[in-house]
Structure 1
Amino acid sequence: MKSDIVESFSQMVKDKKMDRDVLESIIKDVFGMMIKKKYGQNSNFDVIVNMDKGDIEMYLFKKVVENVEDPETEIDPETALDKSGEELAAGDDYVEVLDFISFGRRHIVNLKQNLNQKIREIEKEIVYNDYKDMGGEIIVGEIYQMKPNYILLIHNSHEVIFPKNEQIPKERYKKGESIRVYIKEVQKKPSGPPLIVVSRACDEFLKKLFELEIPEIYDGIIEIKGIAREPGERAKVAVTSYDDRIDAVGACVGMKGIRIHSIVRELCNENIDVINYSEDIALYIARALAPAKLKDIYLDKVNKFAKIIADEDQISLIIGKNGQNIKLASKLTGYEIDVERKDGTPKEESTNGEEAVTEEDSAASSDEK
């Protein structure tokens, strides 16, 4: 029985990456609990575990005294002689080799339960630490269960939660297919395995895809300075190069767009604008609003507010479909952006989440006047 326990635990070392010393400590602790339950909380004992030989040895120590006051730690010479066959005098040390079978069925059942509980706790800790170390990385999971508010993925035999709000809205998922996801969060739970939350909708997923597809970003030659994204629709990525010989935007797009196209395909054909970052905030905003051409920009750097002046034919480009372009530019630059016609007439305000006014609306309003 003892060797079976050690052998099964030794297999766990191989299968579940458990540390041998930690596992040995667990066995000692659990066997120690069993000894205390039978021989008392103050009993002196030693548990020796040999993981290589698959053996567990248990020893109980007592002091030989003429008059026993504490049965847990003391023994009289007569009882010592009866148990060990040795004649011991007061002051000698008594050592008893404990037989595993002698503990009885109840103690052995408790031992197994305690071992299983300890193992589950260690397994939870190992899984938590593994995925905590993988936080911020992309993994490939297999869809095995689809719920209204989330999808369950399997990765390395562990369940991974893919919430609805972390999914790309227009993507369609199928049970059994494999998808790439970003490890966004790992949490410990009071009971059960840790909660592993993944995403395809977060900005970090896009950033990681750039790192994987573009060696210059991975090597630190090009840095991503900012990302603004509406998952599955459109994204803006600001980049800068620390090597004058390398064009940051060109490196990200790649020859004939091959690099950026692989990212676009991964993101369900999400349109990605790559722009050069600039410390000049006016230039940065102008680039963020591309392809629109601006006449002028008035900045309030204290309140992070920008007023854009542009020709009438550029207004729709600045705003973009459903206000998408101006919202993403605002998010990317950190500035609230308002747009006015060249004649000074306000066109719309979209960065506060208000509905954008279309050119048709404006024309109708002019006709009424």
Structure 2
Amino acid sequence: MDNNKLVESFAEFARSKNIDRPTVIRVLEDVFRAVILSKFGCGDNFDIIINLDKGDLQIWRFREIVDDSATDVHTPRKVALAEARKIEADFEVGEELSEEIKVASFGRRTVMAAKQMLMQKVRELEKEALYNKYEQLVGCLILAEVNQVLGREIILLDEENNELFLPKSEQISKDQFKKGEHVRAVIQKVEFSNAIPRVILSRTSPLFLERLFENEIPEIQDGLITIKKVVREPGARAKVAVESFDDRIDPVGACVGIKGSRIHGITKELQFENIDIVNYTDNLELYISRALNPACINRVEQGPQRVSVYLDADQVALAIGKGGQNIKLAGRLIGKEIDVFRDESIQLEAKDMPLSHFSNVLEPWILEELGKVGLDSAASVLALPKATLEQRVDLEKETIDEIYAILSQSLNG
């Protein structure tokens, strides 16, 4: 194999692996310097010139011409005068001899070894490039094509035909994929297995749901709404806490969309996972109340690690949820364990009145705010201390004083 054919075949192989030109040239130089060093015992008196466009490789050797009887005549950087004059008759001692070394002169075995070394270098670079590429993309959403469905995992291909892996443990239980289908997942991690990088995907990670929201909700893309926290029981239920930086935007409504148009695409992607969207607040009591939706709570007692929530008897099952999912996810969302108790403390008076009867004296948004925390009657409001109500609702102290005054006058005369 001559110089040109070797370079052409290697360059073509490198291009097929998306290796850039400077790296290809560097690898060629490194490999042939190693070959030169092995054959001649010295490599710093050689120049390697590579032209990838022409597929050209030139190796030039430079040696100082010394007298035939010189003591260092047989060293790698020296050449005897008599030998030099075989190349050009008018050479003199002290001049420099430059000669081109053909790849074929290394011998067929050495050339084949060099070629194998080049291919191996490219494969190593390919692995390194794959690792570096996906290491920077961990946590990002990706669309890949199913190539193979195995019992323990699914092997997918990206747009460059790199293999990606979706383990069974990272699949939603209802997922059923066939060869050729396109699958969305989040890049969970990149790890080495037997010196080969493995890109691991996930569809069960909370981050996957978060990325779907970012992808589907324009207000999140624009930074007007932020996702504070996501908790999931993959394929069954999830809770997403969102907050708006613009008072004019309802974060929950924006995420749901008109008639559920935005959230529907997300739930469909998650095999119709039930998603509760919660309006985040720093008011822990109100946050707990929202997290336990659809249950309506009466009061909360806070502790360092746990909170006790008191509800009417008919609300306990709603708070706990099927298989304990609702209370478990609510606890993970607020970051504390939640204990649920029946509340026997509120005894409605016979002359109690629903809050809807006060719509002529209390603003609709006030009644709506009270309803969000399960307060639907005058007595249920008055049964709470003002300080407790202030913690549970987003209302000013003056507004709460006005509410108590109106309700007390109506019930007590």
TM-score by length of 2: 0.79
Q: Which runs of 5+ in 2 are unaligned?
A: 346-413
Q: 8 Å contact 1:223–1:241 — kept in the other structure?
A: yes
Structure 2 match to 1:361: none
Matching of residue 72 in structure 1 with residue 76 in structure 2? yes
* 1:277-335 Cα shifts (integer Å, max 9, x gaps): 011111111100011011110112xx331110111100000000000000000111101
1:7-18 matches, cutoff 5 A: 7-12=8-13, 14-18=15-19
Structure 2 match to 1:310: 311
Structure 1 match to 2:340: 339
Structure 1 match to 2:348: none
Distance in structure 2 (CA, Å) of the matches to 1:27 and 1:48: 10
Matching of residue 127 in structure 1 with residue 135 in structure 2? no
Question: Once superposed, what is the RMSD of the aligned Cα atoms?
Answer: 1.7
Matching of residue 294 in structure 1 with residue 297 in structure 2? yes
Distance in structure 1 (CA, Å) of the matches to 2:192 and 2:25: 25
Question: Which of 187, 194, 219 lines up with 2:191 in the alignment?
Answer: 187
1:99 Cα offset (Å): 1.5
Structure 2 match to 1:248: 251
Q: 8 Å contact 2:257–2:263 — kept in the other structure?
A: yes
Question: Which of 264, 267, 275 lines up with 1:261 in the alignment?
Answer: 264
Q: 8 Å contact 2:10–2:119 — kept in the other structure?
A: no
Matching of residue 111 in structure 1 with residue 114 in structure 2? yes
1:42 Cα offset (Å): 5.3
* 1:93-140 Cα shifts (integer Å, max 9, x gaps): 221211222111111011111101111011112222222233222222
Q: 8 Å contact 1:276–1:287 — kept in the other structure?
A: yes
Structure 2 match to 1:154: 157
Question: Which of 79, 88, 93 lines up with 1:90 in the alignment?
Answer: 93
Distance in structure 2 (CA, Å) of the matches to 1:77 and 1:189: 57
SS in 2 for 1:295: strand
Aligned in 2, Cα 1:86/1:114: closer, same or farther, shift over 3 Å? Answer: farther
Matching of residue 170 in structure 1 with residue 171 in structure 2? no
Structure 2 match to 1:350: none
1:150 Cα offset (Å): 1.6
Structure 2 match to 1:140: 143
Aligned in 2, Cα 1:93/1:189: closer, same or farther, shift over 3 Å? Answer: farther
Structure 1 match to 2:226: 223
1:35 Cα offset (Å): 1.5
Distance in structure 1 (CA, Å) of the matches to 2:8 and 2:305: 66
Distance in structure 2 (CA, Å) of the matches to 1:299 and 1:214: 34
Distance in structure 2 (CA, Å) of the matches to 1:86 and 1:286: 100
Q: Which runs of 5+ in 1 are unaligned?
A: 345-369
Aligned in 2, Cα 1:281/1:136: closer, same or farther, shift over 3 Å? Answer: same
Distance in structure 2 (CA, Å) of the matches to 1:77 and 1:87: 10
Distance in structure 2 (CA, Å) of the matches to 1:150 and 1:256: 37
Distance in structure 2 (CA, Å) of the matches to 1:240 and 1:68: 84
Matching of residue 46 in structure 1 with residue 47 in structure 2? yes
**Match for 2:130: what amino acid?**
V
1:216 Cα offset (Å): 0.7
Distance in structure 2 (CA, Å) of the matches to 1:190 and 1:81: 55
Count of residues in correspondence between the two structures:
340
Q: 8 Å contact 2:174–2:235 — kept in the other structure?
A: yes
Q: 8 Å contact 2:10–2:118 — kept in the other structure?
A: no
* 1:330-357 Cα shifts (integer Å, max 9, x gaps): 111101111111138xxxxxxxxxxxxx
**Match for 1:338: what amino acid?**
D
Distance in structure 2 (CA, Å) of the matches to 1:304 and 1:41: 70
Structure 1 match to 2:4: 3
1:172 Cα offset (Å): 2.3
Q: 8 Å contact 2:14–2:122 — kept in the other structure?
A: no
Q: What percent of counterpart residues are identical?
A: 44
**Match for 1:88: what amino acid?**
F
Distance in structure 1 (CA, Å) of the matches to 2:295 and 2:105: 86
Q: 8 Å contact 2:252–2:279 — kept in the other structure?
A: yes
Structure 1 runs (4+) deviating above 6 angstroms are none
Q: 8 Å contact 1:42–1:73 — kept in the other structure?
A: no
Q: 8 Å contact 2:306–2:337 — kept in the other structure?
A: yes
